[in-house]
Chain A
Amino acid sequence: MTPVEDPRTDLSLDAGELEGAAGPPPDDLFKALASEKRRRLLAILTEQATISLDDLTDVLVGWEATDSGPAGPDEWARMKIELVHAHLPLLADTGLVVHDEAAGEVRLESVSDPIRDLLRFATEYERVVETGRSQPTDS
């Protein structure tokens, strides 16, 4: 097992790193994180900067299927609608995600390091709470 840095230490914030007004207002930022689907979406994008909307829908539907059982095309269509009409606009307004509708792609906005660290922390926090493990499964 490789030691993992304590994620909390990544969260020290030097005001200079935000480079002026580069960050979203706190309410917007924390609202973006206040939804399991959006956290999952952001976790996916921090590992894979660009993803097609269809692939993103696949991953979120599949992820949900691990909690709630098999999902079919109806669930898929609902998830895609929810993404396009709710989650992606909210994340775009917050300046975290770009939804390129013409290309059918979703990508992470270039965010400042502290924001990126916060997204990583949110992922790490969720992993600890959800799985009781402080790092990815070793195999």
Chain B
Amino acid sequence: MTLGSILSEVAAEEKTVVVYSPDDTGEDLAERLATRNLHVDHRKIPSISADAFVVVRDGSRFRGALSLSDLLVFLSPPIHRPEDLDSVDAAYRALFELLDQTVFVTLDRRQLLATSREIEDRAWRTGRGRLHVGFQSVAAFEAQAGLYRDLAATTDVDVHVYVPAGAPSGYLDDAPLTAHTDVDEDLARYWFILFDGHGEAGLPDGQTLADDGTESAQSCALIAEATGPDRYRGVWTYDPDRVARAFEAVT
């Protein structure tokens, strides 16, 4: 399992979004969804309802339905997710699940940074678990290194930083984190930030990861690769299994 194979695997799971609206509402949605791994269809509904809605299907399976306005909120990065998924309605959980595994193809650096911030915030709030982060450039590493130093010094989060070739040495020598300096070429292609809220070490005695339903709700990952100047393709995911596999791919 590599980060590249995780990206390909997610890209293969295309979903269909059918937009139902009484008028032309949502016609521009295809453009907005072009950044995601979603195929868009349009259908008319009788105009009793003023509100457009969308139905998401995964092959022949119904995955979820929501109003168009709700969908647009969820599609805007950075990603917003309720803190405690157990407390939210089952339908909202389903919605997150269905929008989780979508690949974006045209995010820019600003949007990726916003999403990275969301994941880092979660690590701060959770205060434990594992955070592994890799950079595609020395400049990005230099800009962010201080933040990860603080995170490692202030919380119990086990921070691993994958230092890109050419970065000044000794940058993180005195920080309580693990700096990997021999990053192989395959890994160096990706901008990644992986977090889980537990880590085996963080669990109470006698509890295994399999028992742990709540903390795995904190699992999230962003994996992206540059496709051009300020253009990236990649995935963010909250799927605990997929996040676990991403950890395996980098460690």
Q: Taking beta carbons and an 8 Å cutoff, which residues of A are in contact with B? A: 39-40, 43-44, 46-47, 54, 57-59, 61-66, 69-76, 123, 126-127, 130-131, 133, 136-139
Contact = CB atoms under 8 A, between A and B. Distances in A.
Given A57-B62, A58-B65, A138-B23, 8 more contacts: A69-B91, A70-B95, A71-B65, A72-B64, A72-B95, A73-B64, A130-B50, A139-B25
B91 A59 contact: no
Interface string B45-61: 11111111111010001
Given A61-B55, A62-B55, A70 B64 contact: yes
Interface in B51-83: 51-55, 57, 61-67, 70
A104 to B, nearest CB: 12
Interface of B: 18, 20, 22-25, 44-55, 57, 61-67, 70, 89-95
Given A58-B55, A62-B55, A76 B62 contact: yes
Given A73-B94, A139-B25, A126 B48 contact: yes
Given A66-B49, A123-B46, A73 B63 contact: yes
Contacts of B20: 59, 62-63
A54 B55 CA distance: 12
A24 B88 CA distance: 45
A130 to B, nearest CB: 6
A139 B91 contact: no
Contact of A70 (B46, B61, B92): B92
A72 B44 contact: no
Nearest to B68: A66
Contact of A137 (B22, B55, B70, B89): B22
Nearest to B94: A72
Contacts of B67: 65-66
B123 to A, nearest CB: 27
Contacts of A54: 62
A46 to B, nearest CB: 7
Contacts of A65: 53, 65-67, 70
B56 to A, nearest CB: 10
A5 to B, nearest CB: 16
B50 to A, nearest CB: 5
A138 B70 CA distance: 22
20 contacts: A39-B48, A43-B48, A44-B45, A44-B46, A47-B46, A61-B65, A62-B53, A64-B65, A65-B70, A66-B49, A69-B92, A70-B89, A72-B94, A73-B61, A74-B91, A75-B91, A130-B48, A136-B22, A136-B47, A139-B25
